[in-house]
Structure 1
């Protein structure tokens, strides 16, 4: 397997340009911050950006966990990888990753200064310092299941085809990791309840929520609620509408993944306006 290193200081825009550099060297396979990525898909690994501290993040990126390294090596073999791009902040980091994964020497090295101007690098560094944002070179839908509860923004990359014409060539995701110096953020269960209460109060056929429970887990949020419905509406259709609207609004407002939502029609009441 031919190993290519893509090297530059943290925050200089390596992940943003990773897909382009990989394609220029004839591969879709990239190792970036603990993840093995093929094209727009995460094949194996665990993102270092999920770790709660900077030290844990560095260890994850260097594959110090044998199980983590083993999973990525297995995926490389299963995909018959011939060329691999490894992203790192230094020559030493790229070489350590290659050694831990048993990939042999790094055959070629590309530096961020080879593919980005001084102005572009300064802009990337400014974004990292001021906003604490990190780029992962896969679409947002691909990582959302692993980054439930993080700030997630899609970043679409376009190429000019002609005057006033652009072609979408890829999508990346922007996250703010938990170890960001800008601090953590939390969303209380009561806030989730308030969102749900507001949404359901605007759905015709729902009288009120009689019981609500939200459980925030690492893979997403689990919701259970009992509803009092108004007599005369199709219950199954109404409960489905509640699930869809609540799920859509929570994802939009909080970036939390809804892993499960159990909705029960607990009782019925007559609508005094109809009677």
Structure 2
């Protein structure tokens, strides 16, 4: 199976143009926001746009739930597409999706700027920011039984394709669905670095380390956690520290959907059995 990735910032119109891009690159199925779509049918998955919070939407789009990932994997194995289109906001996200679904990494990369004009992208962003509307590249008759959001309506769109295989029409009509998820109608929320630090303190303490001090750095949207701890006396430290690193990264990622780039742990003291350093 060959994987094509369509990437672009959130709200830039990727889902809106997904069907046209799939036709241009002869992709037989699409992975978009947690759904597996083939033609005009949703074959498997759960829509990220159905989730009540933005964190839940991100986790769904990344197939963080093993049962969700397994359902889509099994359906892909049944239909065996020769080429699959994966929609994502970045190269890293596309690679994480393919890894979770045990697919080969993308071999073809398509940026939204290659298939949509700056004016079209600006219009898509305006609609997203002002109206909170999202597009699912499937007909309303397919989406409605699965979606419990407060707003749903059909959308028939005339898409202008920048390229077309021989014998194919350059332009095409497609039926899609416009939805407004709950997380778009409730405003925004933020996870403060202090909350992340408190989680890290709890997790390393539970792992047997003491007196943790945490510094959180933001590196281009990814977090780096620097921890200073006291390690127990009489214990071989490397396995303990590695286990603490993995626990902090996995648990915070699962609870917040934030990207943790690194967890650096420095031993600055020794924890004796009588709790004296």
TM bucket normalised to smaller: 0.5 to 0.7
Mapped to 2, the partners of 1:96 and 1:168 lie a distance apart of 32
Instruction: Give me the TM-score of the superposition, normalised by structure 2.
Output: 0.62
Mapped to 2, the partners of 1:83 and 1:123 lie a distance apart of 30
Mapped to 1, the partners of 2:172 and 2:84 lie a distance apart of 24
Equivalent residue number for residue 172 of structure 1: 176
Mapped to 1, the partners of 2:77 and 2:119 lie a distance apart of 39
Equivalent residue number for residue 6 of structure 1: 6
Kindly state the Cα deviation for residue 159 of structure 1 after the two structures are TM-superposed.
Answer: 6.0
Contact 1:12–1:125 (CA under 8 A) maintained in structure 2: yes
Equivalent residue number for residue 212 of structure 1: none
Mapped to 2, the partners of 1:92 and 1:103 lie a distance apart of 14
Kindly state the Cα deviation for residue 175 of structure 1 after the two structures are TM-superposed.
Answer: 0.2
Change in CA separation of 1:61 and 1:82 when aligned onto 2, cut-off 3 Å: same
DSSP-derived class of the 2:36 partner: strand
Q: Which runs of 4+ in 1 moved over 6 A?
A: none
Equivalent residue number for residue 89 of structure 2: 89
Equivalent residue number for residue 266 of structure 1: none
Q: Deviations over 1:71-128 (max 9, x none)?
A: 0010001001111000000110001000111102211100000011111100000000
Alignment of 1:65 with 2:69, yes or no, is: no
Size of the aligned set, in residue pairs, is: 178
Alignment of 1:53 with 2:53, yes or no, is: yes
Mapped to 2, the partners of 1:181 and 1:145 lie a distance apart of 21
Kindly state the Cα deviation for residue 168 of structure 1 after the two structures are TM-superposed.
Answer: 6.3
Equivalent residue number for residue 128 of structure 1: 128
DSSP-derived class of the 1:154 partner: strand
Contact 2:149–2:180 (CA under 8 A) maintained in structure 1: no
DSSP-derived class of the 1:97 partner: helix
Contact 1:34–1:60 (CA under 8 A) maintained in structure 2: yes
Q: RMSD between aligned alpha carbons? A: 1.8
Equivalent residue number for residue 145 of structure 2: 145
Q: Deviations over 1:183-219 (max 9, x none)?
A: 6xxxxxxxxxxxxxxxxxxxxxxxxxxxxxxxxxxxx
Structure 2, unmatched stretches of 5+, are: 161-170, 188-277
Q: Deviations over 1:1-57 (max 9, x none)?
A: 101100000000000100010011112300000000001100000001111111111
Kindly state the Cα deviation for residue 60 of structure 1 after the two structures are TM-superposed.
Answer: 0.4
1:177-256 → structure 2 map (5 Å cutoff): 177-182=181-186
DSSP-derived class of the 1:19 partner: helix
Equivalent residue number for residue 258 of structure 1: none
Mapped to 2, the partners of 1:129 and 1:150 lie a distance apart of 17
Mapped to 2, the partners of 1:158 and 1:168 lie a distance apart of 6
Contact 2:6–2:112 (CA under 8 A) maintained in structure 1: yes
Kindly state the Cα deviation for residue 130 of structure 1 after the two structures are TM-superposed.
Answer: 0.4
Of the structure 1 ranges 39-48 and 148-157, higher mean CA displacement relative to structure 2 is found in 148-157
